[in-house]
Each structure stands twice: as C-alpha cells, then as structure tokens.
A and B are shown apart, each in its own frame.
Chain A
C-alpha cells in the first residue's frame, strides 16, 4: 500500500462522507461535514429498521449509534428525544425512526447553536409567569437569537431567515415547538445536505447533495 494512494483513498472518502464509520466521537463531531456524514451514515444503516415500522426507545437508538461510533455520548441522543417527546421524555418512550432521525440531525449538527438558544430561552422565561405552557414572546426571542448569531462567529448556525419564519408563526413560542420547527424544516434539512426530504427518507436511494451515485 503506497502512501500517496492511501492518502488519495482517504480524501476521496472524506469528500464522499464515508470516512466517519467506526471512528471515535471526537473525530466524528469535529467538523460540520463529519457530523452531517455521520447522520447520513446512521440513516443509511438503519433505514430498513424504519421501514419495518419498529418504534424504539432513546436508549436503543443510542445502542444502534454506538455500533457505528462506540463512544458516542448519550446526552445528544437524549436531547434529540426530548425534541420529539416535548420534554416529557420518560426513558422508555418509543419513537418512530424518521421522527428521531430528523431530530437527531439538528440536535447533533447544531448542538452548540441549540444550546445557546436554550440559554437565551431560559433567561427570557425566568422573568415571565409560566414559560413551560405559554412560552416566551416570539419576537423578543427572535431578536435575541439574531443578536447572538451576528455576534458569534465560532459556531455554525441555520440561516436566520428560516429561524425568523419558524418563530414568526405564533405570538408565543415554547422552546420545544421552536426546536421541532427546526427539526422539521425542509430548508434546514436541505442546507445540511445529509438526508432527503422527510417523507422520502424510507425509500432506498442516496439523497443529500454531497454524495456520489452508488
């Protein structure tokens, strides 16, 4: 095995997104591209399970993920589950594959951004009455997020327009409806480029923009 051939093999796989399998978490999460590749890998490996209609718990999804990345942490899977289950996540609640898939995508891909949004939300809701039920003023929330995005150059984030659209729908927004909006947004999904549209994820085929035809 000649070194230059080894390296060329490696980089071509990177561009295809097939370099993240059986690597450790530090590698898999280090760049947005790796994250997206991993989400895609997860989808490809387990879409047959989705096809079969089995509903699984967060722990089981985590076990499946760990078959691909042995030290993948549970808290990301747990946060993804909370998006779907609206924070009432009892650990044994069952979720459908495609619901989990899209929630996992945004939670993993935008984990820093979503964490920051949560901080903002909590600081906003600390003042008002019952934030859980009613949420916070969408407009205020949106402004805060916009500010954060423009000031923060370290972490990647979804386009502001999409966020605007999601939060513009209602007067008040709870955090989980906001997250759900992000998870279900086709635009965001397309911009990540790993998965096909939500309705089509169970069909066979490749989907996503950065892939070679099989």
Chain B
C-alpha cells in the first residue's frame, strides 16, 4: 500500500476516506477511495434516496458498491491487460474494467478507449479509468449511457471529449493536473463533480450544471468564491485547502447544507443568510481573528455544527462562550457537543466579559483625559514662563482631539488633593470635586502660577480644616518676597517647594527665610527634610535684624495698620489703660510706639506672627502712605 504521507490513498479497499492534499483524515466523510467507488448512505443520503431518476444499480447495495480498479501500464497503441489484483478483491465487488486503448489516425496522440461488449454489458453505466497514466482525456467510444466516470490519479491537464456523455451523473477527476474548469457544458445531468487536488485557480464554466449536488474543489489554488450562485441544488461544497480570504457571495445556493472551508486564509465570513439550510460549516485553520468577522453566523438558525479550531480567534479567553452565546442552534463546536450547562454559562460569561471591557475602556479614557489635561496645563505654564528647553514631555504629537481646551485637572488620592493648571483653583471654591474635605491633609499645586494661588490662602484652612501640608511644583516662585504670602495660611506642618519650576530654591538662604517668616507656624518639614533646632536658630540669627530694623523704622500708625482689627482695638485699649493707670501722656511718638509694641507682645495669641515679621508683607498695591508722602518731596 502506498504511504499516507505521500498523499496517496491506500490501496486496501477497507479504508474509505477522503484525503485532501494535506493528508488529514476526515473519517466521517466517506466518499470513496482507490479501488472502490463507494457511496455511503451517510454522505449522500439525498443523492441515493431522493433521486428517483438515478439508476437502480446505484441503490442496490446498501453500504458499498465497489468497482475494482485495475491499474495498467499503458503506452499509446498498446493493449495490455492484467487480471484482477491478487487477494484484494472483495466479495461483492464487480470485476475490474478491462479497456482497450487505441489511437485514431485522424487524431494522433489522443487515446481512444474501447470496451469489449461483455464488459459494457456488465457495467453499462460506469467506467473506471484511474491510474492509467493518462495525460489527456481519452475519447470514449460508444459510452453515451455512461453515468459514472472515474479519472482519478492521472495527469490530465484539460477536461475534454466528454460532450457526448449526456447522462453523466458522477465525474471524478481527483488528483490530476487540471488548470481550468472547462469542457463540462453539455453535462447538464451531472450531480457529483470531483475536482480535488488539481491546479484550478478560478471557479467558472459550471453554468449548465444546474443539478449539481456535490462539488469538490479541495486542494486547488482558488482565490475567490464565485460563479456558484446558480447552483440552487448544491448541498455539499468542499473548498478546503485553497487560497480564499473571505467567504461570501452565497446568493442562490439555497440548498447548501455542508460547507468545508478548512485551511484557507479566510478572515471574514458573510452573507450566511443566503444559506438557509446550512447545517455544517468547517472553518478550521483559517485567519479569523474575532467574532466580528464571522458575526453573520449569529443570524443563522440552521447551523448545527461549526469548526473554528486553528483560528486566531480561539485564543481569546471567552471564545467558546461567545460563539455558544451567539449561535443558538449550534450543537457541536470543534467536534465537541455543546451541553445545556455550557449554554447557560456561556451567556453569563459573555456578559461579564463585556462589562469588564467597558470598565477597561472607561478607565483608559479617563487616564487619557487626565494625561491630556495635565499636559495642556504644563504647556500653558511653559508658555507663560517662556521656557523652551523643557518641552520634551509635552510632545508635538498633536493628539489633542476633544480634550484640546481642557488645560487643568483635579484629583483626590487618599488624603491628597492635586490641582494641575490655574483653572483647577476653582475646585477650592466650590464643592464640586472634593467630596470629603475633612479628610484632605495635603494639597499639591502643579503648573499653577504662585500669584494665582495666593488669593486662596486665607480661606484654605477654613475649607480644609485637617490641612497639614502644601506642595508647590512649577509654581514660578522666583523671589523671597513671594514667600511672605504664605503667612496668610496661618498654620502648616509641612511645606514643599519643589526645585522644578521654582527658581527661588536656587537661593542658598530660602529655607532660612521661610523659617523666619513663618516662625509662628512651627513647620515640621520643609521639602521633606525635618526642620531642626539648628535650622530655626540659624534662621533667627540671619534675619532677626531684618525684623528689628523694620520695627524700628515703622511709625506707630503703620504698625497698628499691620494688626487685624480685633487686635488693634485690643492694643489701643491696652495703651489707653496704661496711659490712664500710669497717668502719663504718650504723646511722644517713641514712647507711644514702645507702648504699642509691648502691648502687642503681651496680648499676642500663640501661633500668631510677630509684629516685626508681619511687616514683611506680600507686595500688593502701593501703600497709600508712599503716595501721600511722595507729594512732600
């Protein structure tokens, strides 16, 4: 017997399976094999049963009817014959075809086949010419009654000389060298056409074969499914092992029940609603990537069996569930039965997957929104500061899209409120974004000019009573005088001025000035570094003269102006009471000033800044003093 690997079919008649050119075995498709021309009821139930016009000889044997093929060596013009193959003849098989090859002088090179009258009488309607090394279709002399014709395993390149076989029902040209479907136009009775394992690249010239029931074109080079729309009686179509990239164009093929598209390059299946009777669809080893490409299968109410193994789609985690969920009539998937339980579970799994995907895309969209907003905030900050070198992050991608106008972002992370971009400061006013103001202990400002944040300082503690720390990143803090504004926050434990975007951090004394100016805060950490006693003492040493000189040089009214209303009244009343008690007049400026200073010191609540320090104010509008005084010069 010949080896299976060589894609030859074994000679032993018991093995009756179809092989396509990859050698894969499909046990259920018992069509025929070498040595036998067998019709199992299973493959062609309708063919055998519902075709009353078919010859009775076909219906005789319920299982198999064999024609023993006798391979013969053959050279043109030489008649040779060998007897039946030894030991391989099964009982019940008819004797092999004995044919005579001849040649006509009018058509040189074209063999003519004669059958002896006895042979013809024994098998008038079937002729087996497989493995006769034919390179041309021979002329068949006097075989007009032929119904079954077998040309398997030859080297025929063109279909010819069949025009007289008007009664032909079964034509087998499996394993030849046919390049083009042609020469079939008179065979209007043809029911089964086997053209597997040839070199056909286009489906055509089947126009008159309106009774075609089975069409086998596996193992060819066909790229497109076409010119089959008139085959309204076609039930089985085999296009396995071709080069199809999509499966559609099924209009008119209303009888199709089985469609074999294995081992193509199919990425898309469509128009399955034109196949109302489709029961079995084989799409194994194609290029289907997702359910979307085969969505039309969901519309089929007839499909019972489906094979999708070997497609990329099967790698998806819920592949099976999606298919089962969408195809309500399906009974078998990838050769495995679908159970009731599986069906029930399938829809649940599919819903869950969909929800997960939705969550994921939502999360991604949010992330993208955030990224864009912060990027825009950064861009604006850089424009304001005219810093060109740091534009590496804000790339010129141009992917602005719908988020183009949003250049701020607010988010809350556990106990930290983060604000990006100046417009985000609105979040400090309204109650929009921050749900639980009680839990916020840190506020983080990024890409917001410091001068924009300053007006919000006084209300910050009111709004966020648990506030402990502030961080300023890219806030354009460039001068020590800006640090004075931090005093209006009134109380803070942690303060961070990040080196990025805050030039003031380049000054060697900035921390000490901060400690001096905000000494009443008792800051615990600056830029995440603990504030030590040494630091505090040094700060006092460096800047106390500043405070003292200031105090010396301010006049009384200006000093009083520095105090908030309540305290001012307190101090003044204290001075008045001193004046009364000690019965002295505090008319002299110096004495009055001394009294005010000492009164202020006595009555200062803890955590309030010293008078000398509060003189160091965040520069705002020009004081009216200097305007008035400049008139006197």
Q: Is B577 an interface residue (CB 8 A)?
A: no
- Residues of chain B lying within 8 A (CB to CB) of residue A9: 555-556, 589
Q: A52-B541, A54-B508, A63-B481 are in contact. Are A24 and B622 (CB under 8 A)?
A: yes
Q: Are B508 and A56 in touch, CB under 8 angstroms?
A: yes
Contacts of A56 in B (CB 8 A): 507-509
- Check if B545 is an interface residue, CB within 8 A of chain A: yes
A13-B555, A30-B633 known; A59 vs B507 contact (CB < 8 Å): yes
Q: Mark B499-512, 1 if CB is under 8 A from A, else 0.
A: 00001101111000
Whether a CB of chain A sits under 8 angstroms from the CB of B566 is no
Contact A10 B545 (CB under 8 A): no
Mask: chain B, 207-250; 1 = CB below 8 Å from A; 0 = not:
00000000000000000000000000000000000000000000
State which of A15-23, A146-154, A163-171, A173-181 sits at the interface with chain B: A15-23
- The smallest C-beta distance from A89 to any residue of chain B, in angstroms, reads 16
Given contacts A9-B589, A56-B509, A63-B507, contact A45 B633 (CB under 8 A): no
Answer whether residue B543 sits at the interface, using C-beta atoms and an 8 A cutoff.
yes
**Is B24 an interface residue, CB under 8 A from the partner?**
no
Report chain A residues within 8 Å CB of B552. 18, 214
Nearest CB of B to A69, in Å: 9
Q: Taking the nearest CB of chain B, how far is it from the CB of A165, in angstroms?
A: 34
Q: Quick check: A19 and B504 within 8 Å, CB to CB?
A: no
| Cβ contact of A46, chosen from B484, B545, B557, B622, cutoff 8 A | B545
Q: Is B129 an interface residue (CB 8 A)?
A: no
A67 to B549, CA, bound (A): 13
A187 contacts chain B at the CB level, 8 A cutoff = no
A70 within 8 A of B: yes
Q: How far is the CB of A42 from chain B (nearest CB, A)?
A: 10
**A71's closest neighbor in chain B, by CB?**
B619
Q: In whole angstroms, what is the CA distance A181 to B630 when docked?
A: 34
Residues of B within 8 A of A48 (CB): 541-545
Contacts across chains A and B counted by CB atoms under 8 Å? 95
Question: B-side binding surface: helix, strand, loop or mixed?
Answer: helix
Residues B507 and A10 in contact, CB atoms below 8 Å apart: no
CB 8 Å contact bits of B541-579 with A (1 = contact, 0 = none): 111111001101111110000000000000000000000
Per DSSP, chain A at the interface is helix
Any chain B CB within 8 A of the CB of A41? Answer: yes
Contact A70 B555 (CB under 8 A): no
CB distance from B440 to the nearest CB of A (A): 32
A87 within 8 A of B: no
* Contact A24–B479 (Cβ < 8 Å): no
B625 to chain A, nearest CB (A): 8
Are B555 and A24 touching (Cβ within 8 A)?
Answer: no
Q: Are A23 and B626 in contact (CB under 8 A)?
A: yes
Chain A residue at minimal CB-CB distance from B541: A48
Contact residues of A between 45 and 69, Cβ < 8 Å to B: 45-49, 52, 54, 56-57, 59-60, 63-64, 66-67
A148–B622 alpha-carbon span in the complex (Å): 37
Q: Is the CB of A19 within 8 A of B629?
A: yes
Cβ of A45: which chain B residues have Cβ within 8 Å of it?
Answer: 545-546, 549-550
Q: Of B479, B507, B509, B615, which contacts A22 at CB under 8 A?
A: B615
Residues of A within 8 A of B616 (CB): 67
A1 touches B549 (CB 8 A): no
The answer to whether A10 touches B629 (Cβ under 8 A) is yes
Q: CA of A9 to CA of B629 in the docked complex: distance in angstroms?
A: 12
Complex interface: chain B residues within 8 A of A13 (CB): 553, 555
Residues of B within 8 A of A19 (CB): 553, 629
The CA-CA distance from A21 to B587 in the complex, in Å, is 24
Q: How far is the CA of A9 from the CA of B591 in the complex (A)?
A: 12
Whether A47 touches B545, Cβ cut-off 8 Å, given contacts A9-B589, A63-B479, A67-B480, is yes
Can you name the residue of chain B whose Cβ is closest to the Cβ of A20? B553
Q: Let me know if A155 is at the binding interface, CB within 8 A.
A: no
Whole-angstrom CA separation of A56 from B506 in the bound complex: 10
> Is B623 in contact with chain A by the CB < 8 A criterion?
yes
Q: Mark interface residues in A5-33 (1 if CB within 8 Å of B CB, else 0).
A: 11011101100001101111011001100
- Roughly how many angstroms separate A92 CA and B506 CA in the complex, as a whole number? 9
Task: Determine which of A1, A8, A18, A63 lies in contact with B504 in the assembled complex, contact meaning CB atoms within 8 Å.
Answer: A63
| The 3 A-B residue pairs with the shortest CB-CB distance in the complex, in nearest-first order | A70-B619, A18-B553, A63-B480
List residues of chain A with CB under 8 Å of any chain B CB.
1, 5-6, 8-10, 12-13, 18-19, 21-24, 26-27, 30-31, 41, 44-49, 52, 54, 56-57, 59-60, 63-64, 66-67, 70-71, 92, 214
Binding site for A on B (CB under 8 A): 479-481, 484, 503-504, 506-509, 538, 541-546, 549-550, 552-557, 587, 589, 615-617, 619, 622-623, 625-626, 629-630, 632-633
Q: List 22 A-B contacts (CB under 8 A).
A: A1-B557, A5-B587, A13-B553, A13-B555, A19-B629, A21-B549, A21-B553, A21-B554, A22-B623, A23-B625, A23-B626, A26-B630, A44-B549, A45-B549, A47-B545, A48-B541, A52-B542, A54-B509, A56-B509, A60-B507, A67-B481, A71-B619
